[in-house]
Amino acid sequence: MRKRIITVFSLFFLLIMTACGNDKPEPETNSNRIVPVVSQHQPTSPMHVKHEIKGKDVFVECIVTGFTFQKGAGHIDVYLNGKKINEVFTAAFVIRGLPTGKHTIRLELVDDGGRKSSLSHEFEVNIS
């Protein structure tokens, strides 16, 4: 009976480990300051942006109805204080290591042809 329990437990453990083995981390974007974040949220308008400040990092979630975020489909141009800092191909990302002070972040949607969409969002953050 003891061998049977050990065998069942071992098979269960092996099944759990195998199921988790296919999770591969997403590569970071070209800039070391921005990394993808996965989140689910229901938008209330065509473009809904949520952000949260944690230390010197800003976590951004951008949900756009009918817009696909991926290479070859569409992306977000990210501007910090009027200067473009990156193109992001995920709906959620982190802007890392902002210096202390007040900053303006602007997100502009760009379609697969490189044309800017009429949808954009701008917000201010204060890093202390």
Q: Is 42 inside any structural domain?
A: yes
Q: Yes or no: say if 93 and 60 are a contact pair by the CB < 8 Å rule.
A: yes
Q: Rounded CA gap, 61 and 43, in Å?
A: 11
Q: Is the pLDDT of residue 108 over 90?
A: yes
Higher pLDDT, 4 or 21: 4
Give the CATH number for residue 87: 2.60.40.10
Q: Is 16 inside any structural domain?
A: no
Q: Is 107 inside any structural domain?
A: yes
Range of the domain at 43: 25-127
Q: pTM of whole model > 0.85? A: no
Mean pLDDT value across the chain: 77
How many separate domains does the chain show? 1
Q: Rounded CA gap, 39 and 30, in Å?
A: 21
Q: Is 11 inside any structural domain?
A: no
What are 32's two structure tokens? 């070391």
CA distances from 42 to 6, 46, 62, 125 (A): 45, 11, 11, 23
Q: Is 17 inside any structural domain?
A: no
Q: Is 122 inside any structural domain?
A: yes
Report residue 8 CA to chain centroid gap.
39
Q: What is the pLDDT of residues 112-123, one digit of tens each?
A: 777 888 889 999
Q: What is the pLDDT of residues 35-81, one digit of tens each?
A: 555 555 554 568 899 999 999 999 999 988 888 887 778 899 999 99
